[in-house]
Chains A and B, each alone.
Chain A
């Protein structure tokens, strides 16, 4: 900001993620640019899948094939893989929605004019992490009963009695605290840092090309190529984070449902 004030290089900061309010400022329904992107993504995601699956046929059309391929990947590759066929189908809606929501909200980070991922605001990842946390615990209690569930999570069998003094707090922290936090933070910071990297690259390019000028324009070329490379990388990250979030949700449910781990 100091540099910017001097009319030079504009370094991106956290203020990127807290743009001014557009509507309802100061209320719980305050809308800023990122919240609008979030709503847009939700609407587009639903619309796209309603379109792809609008009239499914036994012999699928091209659009239907694409929709089915994506859903089938989540169903087979994540849900069935982690949870088996029966539980996999039971939790498939949640896992599919998490996968698609995370991906759709990630990918806006590289879509021109949107240029930011709503997952960089921790609300969205945190909300999904809480949903997956609640489902994880609910599934465990449903499968084993409340006490048995807590026992299976905190007092793993096959551990000598005295060791529970050590094991139980570790299991408690890793299962009931680290799991949701790691889900939320991993996604948030991936998106946050990804966005900062892109902004950094393109802001530097802008600076080198139009403000530094002269020989420094060469660096502008480098940062432009870097920005392009990071854009491609962000596509990968968008898919990967969606996959990781959905996979971990499934894995946590599986660990809850399993009698012992």
Chain B
């Protein structure tokens, strides 16, 4: 075999694959494909998912914390507003109550004053009545005395004397001014 004949016999067309070429291509490709498909890429996907989840989890957590903070702030503000409203309410109540107390006191004082005044008036009236009675008796005695001294013994008779005295008193009362009588 000369080199040239060897060449001519053994140089195949590079466009046409030999059977063994196809066989080993398939074997190698299938090995690589299955190793990647079943072993390498699942791990790759897993770690990507895990990482995405970690990042999403972090974001989610931050959002949750933010929401909680917002909620706490809102609650705090609500409590503050409630507190203010409560204070205002208490103040208004206290003012009202105070006014009520003052009004009550005034009323009570007025009533007391009225009561004292009417009591005083009643007492005055009673005293006036008794003074009047006393005065009547005394004036009667004095007038009788005076008249008996002037007229003498004839007027000692009890019955007649009383008639005279009553007449006299009626005269006196007719002479006294009207307002004084009304007041009693």
A-side interface residues toward B, CB under 8 Å?
A: 1, 4-5, 13-15, 17-18, 24, 27-32, 35, 38-39, 41-43, 45-46, 49-50, 53, 56-58, 60, 64, 67-68, 71, 92-94, 96-97, 100-101, 120-124, 126-128, 131, 185, 188, 192
Contacts and interface: CB of A to CB of B under 8 A. Distances in A.
Contact of A46 (B7, B27, B36): B36
A123 B31 contact: no
Interface string B89-113: 0000000000000000000000000
B37 A126 contact: no
A131 B4 CA distance: 38
Contact of B36 (A28, A57, A96): A96
Interface string B19-62: 11111111111011101110111011011001100100000000
A159 B10 CA distance: 50
Nearest to A181: B15
B29 A15 contact: no
A94 B15 CA distance: 25
A124 B28 contact: yes
Contacts of A30: 18-20
Given A18-B11, A68-B44, A122-B15, 6 more contacts: A1-B4, A32-B20, A57-B47, A60-B47, A101-B28, A128-B29
Interface of B: 3-4, 7, 10-12, 14-29, 31-33, 35-37, 39-41, 43-44, 46-47, 50-51, 54
B14 A123 contact: no
Nearest to A124: B25
A100 B32 contact: yes
B25 A97 contact: no
Given A27-B20, A58-B47, A14 B11 contact: yes
Contact of A1 (B7, B31, B39, B46): B7
B17 A126 contact: yes
7 contacts: A14-B11, A50-B35, A53-B47, A58-B54, A71-B44, A101-B32, A126-B17
Q: Which of B25, B43, B50 has the most CB of A within 10 A?
A: B25
Contact of B26 (A31, A50, A127): A127
Contacts of B11: 13-15, 18
Grouping DSSP codes into helix (H, G, I), strand (E, B) and loop, the B interface class, with mixed when no group exceeds half, is: helix
Nearest to A15: B11
Contacts of B35: 46, 49-50
Contacts of A92: 41
Contact of A100 (B14, B22, B36, B54): B36
Nearest to B38: A93
Contacts of A188: 14
B38 to A, nearest CB: 9
Contacts of B39: 46, 50
Q: Considering the complex of A and B, which 5 residue pairs feature the smallest CB-CB distances, nearest first?
A: A123-B21, A56-B47, A30-B20, A42-B28, A127-B25
A15 B13 CA distance: 10
A95 B31 CA distance: 15
Contact of A45 (B3, B22, B32): B32
Contacts of A58: 47, 50-51, 54
A13 B7 contact: yes
Contacts of A27: 20
Nearest to A192: B14
Contact of B47 (A38, A41, A68, A120): A68
Given A15-B11, A56-B46, A122 B32 contact: no
Contacts of B31: 42-43, 46
A175 to B, nearest CB: 21
A1 B18 CA distance: 24
B36 to A, nearest CB: 5
